[in-house]
Structure 1
Amino acid sequence: MTRFGYFLSSEEFAPRDLLDQARMAEEAGFQALAISDHFHPWNDEQGEGSFVWSMIGALSQVTSLPITTLVTCPTVRMHPALNAQAAATAAVLTGGGFRFGVGSGEALNEHILGDDWPDADVRLEMLEEAVDVVRKLFTGERVSHRGTHYTVENARLYTVPEEPVPVYVSGFGPRAADLAGRIGDGFVTMQPDASIVERFRKAGGGDKPVLGGLKVCWDTDRQRAVKTVHRLWPNEQLPGELAQLLPTPEHFQQASTLVTEEMIADAVVCGDDTREHVDAVAAYANAGFDEVYVNQIGSDQRQFFDFYRTEILPRLTTGS
C-alpha cells in the first residue's frame, strides 16, 4: 500500500516554519517526511536555504515520522565521507528512521566552491563512486579509498546506526533509472511515470521502494493559488536540463520569465477541489510508487493540513 508523506521545502520556509510544518504533518495523518537539500533557493522569492543536516537533527526532536532527503548531492559541495557521517548521525538521532536520498545534483547548489560542473555522464559516474564510499563508511570499519574522483584515507565512523542507512538514488531518465536499479536501495523520481518505474525494477530494483512527489497550492481562490505558484515556483515548469545547469537564482528568475500563469494552471493543482487533489496524488500510486510526498506552496499551511486531514488523506487511504 502506498504511503503518503509531506515534503518540507527548505527553499521556501525558514527553519522554525519547517519544524511547525513537521508537527502539523504528523497531526494531519501524513506517514513520513521528506526534505530538500539546497544551498540556494531556486529564486529570491522563495528566499530560504537552511542547512539540511541541522534541520534533520531538529526534526528528530519534534516528530516521530521517518525522514528522507529528497535529495542530497553527495559528490561536490560536501565530500562523500562527510555526507556519510551526516547521514549516519541522522539515522542514530531518528532511531533508524532516516533514509538517504541522493542524486547527481544541480549547478545551482554545487558550483559554490568554484569546482567545475561536469556533464551528466560524469556526474552519474561520480554519484556511483560516492555511494560506494558512503556504504563502506556505514559499516563502521576503517576505510581507505582511492578512486577516479575521491580519496579517503584511514576514515572510520564511530557513530553509526545498528543497520546501514538505506540509500535511495534519484533519476529522471533511463540511464539514471538503470543506475538506481543497480546501486540503490530505492528509487526517487518526480513524475508519475509507470514506464520509468518499470525500467528501475527491471534494472535490478525489483520490489525496492519507489518515491515521488508533487507540489500543490491549496487556496479557496483558484486564481490566487495560480498567482502564488507563478510567483514562488515558476522554475518547476522549465524544460530539459536547465534545472541542472543554471548556476544562480538570478538565472532561474530570468529563465522563469518564459513561464506563464496559464502554464502553471495547466500543470499544478491549485485551489480546493477535492477530486483534483486526490487524483493528482493517486496518479503516483497508480504508476507503482510506494511513497508519495506532497508539498504545499505558499503561506496557507494550517488550512492545507486541515484540508488534507479531513478531505484528502482519508480518500487516498480508502481508495475512494
Structure 2
Amino acid sequence: MTRIGFHASHEQFAPSRLLALVRDAERAGDDAALGAAADQWRQATAPGDVVWDLEQPEDFDRLSDPGDEDALRAAVLIGSDPRGMAERLARIAAVGFDELYVHHVGLDQDAFLARAASQLLPALRKALA
C-alpha cells in the first residue's frame, strides 16, 4: 500500500481541527489496508476447521466472508502505521518465535518493500531491542 503524506500545521488549522484531520488520514490508510486484505486474503476468514478439506478456490470463496472485519482482523495483521505494526510484530516475537516472515497482502509489492526497508524494519529492530 502506498502511503500518501500530507503537511498541515497549527497556522493553517486550529489544533483540534488539525488532530481531527490527522486521525481521518490515518483511518483512510487503515481502511485501504483492510480493503487490500479483504480483496487478496478473504480466504483467511474461512473456518479453520474445514480449510484442509477444501479442494477448489471456489470452495474458499463460498466459505469466506471478506465483509466480516473482525474475522479478517483476527486472521491477518492489518494496519498502515509502520511503528504500530512493528510493535504488534514485536509482541508476537516475544511469545518465543525465532523468526518472523512479513508478507504484504496487497498488490503493490514495490511500494511495500521500499516502505518496509525504510520504516517497518528499522521500527521493528527498535521494538525488539
**TM-score band (shorter)?**
0.5 to 0.7
The structure with the larger Rg is 1
Question: What secondary structure is seen at the aligned counterpart in 1 of 2:101?
Answer: strand
Deviation at 1:264, TM superposition (A): 5.5
Structure 1, residues 84-119: CA drift from partner, whole Å, max 9, x if none? xxxxxxxxxxxxxxxxxxxxxxxxxxxxxxxxxxxx
The match for 1:290 is: 98
Unpaired segments of 5 or more residues in structure 1?
1-217
- Distance of 2:92 and 2:50 partners within structure 1: 24
Structure 1, residues 220-246: CA drift from partner, whole Å, max 9, x if none? 332122122112211112223222111
State TM-score, norm by structure 2. 0.66
Q: Contact conserved, 1:219 with 1:270, CA < 8 A, in 2?
A: no
Would you say 1:228 and 2:41 are equivalent positions? no
Overall identity of the aligned pairs, in %: 29
The match for 1:260 is: 67
Question: What secondary structure is seen at the aligned counterpart in 1 of 2:103?
Answer: strand
- Distance of 1:298 and 1:223 partners within structure 2: 13
Question: What secondary structure is seen at the aligned counterpart in 2 of 1:269?
Answer: coil
Q: Contact conserved, 2:37 with 2:105, CA < 8 A, in 1?
A: yes
- Distance of 1:314 and 1:244 partners within structure 2: 36
What code does the residue aligned with 2:100 have? V
> How many residues are aligned here?
102
Q: Which has the higher strand share?
A: 1
Q: Which has the higher helix share?
A: 2
Higher RCO, 1 vs 2 (CA within 8 Å, ≥6 residues apart):
2
Deviation at 1:279, TM superposition (A): 2.1
Which stretches of structure 1, 4 residues or more, deviate above 6 A after TM superposition? none
The match for 1:305 is: 113
What code does the residue aligned with 2:67 have? T
